[in-house]
Amino acid sequence: MKNTHPITSSISDEKIEDDPILGRFFDTPEKKAKWIVRIKIAYILWILLLILGILFLIVYLLKYSY
Protein backbone atom coordinates (compact mmCIF):
# COMPACT_ATOMS: atom_id res chain seq x y z
CA MET A 1 0.00 0.00 0.00
CA LYS A 2 1.43 3.38 -1.00
CA ASN A 3 1.86 6.03 1.66
CA THR A 4 -0.52 8.89 0.83
CA HIS A 5 0.05 11.03 3.90
CA PRO A 6 1.22 14.49 2.72
CA ILE A 7 4.00 14.87 5.29
CA THR A 8 5.46 11.37 5.47
CA SER A 9 4.97 10.22 1.89
CA SER A 10 8.20 11.76 0.60
CA ILE A 11 10.17 10.60 3.65
CA SER A 12 9.16 6.93 3.58
CA ASP A 13 9.87 6.50 -0.14
CA GLU A 14 13.56 7.38 0.29
CA LYS A 15 16.12 4.74 1.18
CA ILE A 16 19.37 5.29 3.00
CA GLU A 17 21.20 3.56 0.15
CA ASP A 18 20.12 6.39 -2.18
CA ASP A 19 21.56 9.11 0.03
CA PRO A 20 24.65 10.71 -1.57
CA ILE A 21 26.63 10.85 1.70
CA LEU A 22 25.40 7.88 3.76
CA GLY A 23 24.77 5.61 0.78
CA ARG A 24 28.38 4.46 0.54
CA PHE A 25 28.24 3.16 4.12
CA PHE A 26 24.97 1.27 3.61
CA ASP A 27 25.22 0.11 -0.01
CA THR A 28 25.49 -3.62 0.74
CA PRO A 29 23.57 -5.75 3.25
CA GLU A 30 26.84 -6.66 5.01
CA LYS A 31 27.80 -3.03 5.49
CA LYS A 32 24.29 -2.18 6.65
CA ALA A 33 24.37 -5.01 9.22
CA LYS A 34 27.76 -3.91 10.55
CA TRP A 35 26.64 -0.31 10.93
CA ILE A 36 23.40 -1.29 12.61
CA VAL A 37 25.36 -3.30 15.19
CA ARG A 38 27.74 -0.38 15.73
CA ILE A 39 24.86 2.04 16.14
CA LYS A 40 23.17 -0.26 18.67
CA ILE A 41 26.39 -0.55 20.70
CA ALA A 42 26.86 3.22 20.64
CA TYR A 43 23.25 3.72 21.72
CA ILE A 44 23.64 1.32 24.66
CA LEU A 45 26.88 3.04 25.72
CA TRP A 46 25.17 6.43 25.46
CA ILE A 47 22.36 5.27 27.74
CA LEU A 48 24.83 3.83 30.27
CA LEU A 49 26.86 7.05 30.33
CA LEU A 50 23.69 9.08 30.74
CA ILE A 51 22.57 6.95 33.69
CA LEU A 52 26.03 7.16 35.29
CA GLY A 53 26.06 10.93 34.85
CA ILE A 54 22.66 11.29 36.48
CA LEU A 55 23.73 9.05 39.36
CA PHE A 56 26.92 11.06 39.90
CA LEU A 57 24.89 14.27 39.83
CA ILE A 58 22.46 12.93 42.42
CA VAL A 59 25.32 11.76 44.67
CA TYR A 60 27.07 15.13 44.30
CA LEU A 61 23.91 17.06 45.11
CA LEU A 62 23.13 14.88 48.13
CA LYS A 63 26.70 15.06 49.42
CA TYR A 64 27.04 18.85 49.20
CA SER A 65 23.48 19.89 49.96
CA TYR A 66 24.00 19.94 53.74
CB 22 within 8 A of CB 16: yes
Q: Is residue 8 part of a domain?
A: no
Region 50-62 average pLDDT: 96
Q: Domain limits at 37?
A: 23-63
State whether residue 61 is helix, strand or coil: helix
Residue 59, in any domain of the structure: yes
**pTM given for the model:** 0.63
Helix ranges restricted to H, 1-66: 9-12, 29-63
Question: How many domains, the chain?
Answer: 1
Q: For 8-55, how does the pLDDT look when each residue is reduced to its tens digit (9 = 90+)?
A: 655 567 788 888 888 888 888 999 999 999 999 999 999 999 999 999
pLDDT at 3: 61
Give the residue from 45, 47, 23 showing the smallest Cα distance to 35.
Answer: 23
Which residues, 6+ apart, have CB-to-CB distance to 40 below 8 Å?
none
Please report the pLDDT score of residue 11 as a whole number.
Answer: 58
Task: Give the pLDDT band (50/70/90) at residue 65.
Answer: confident
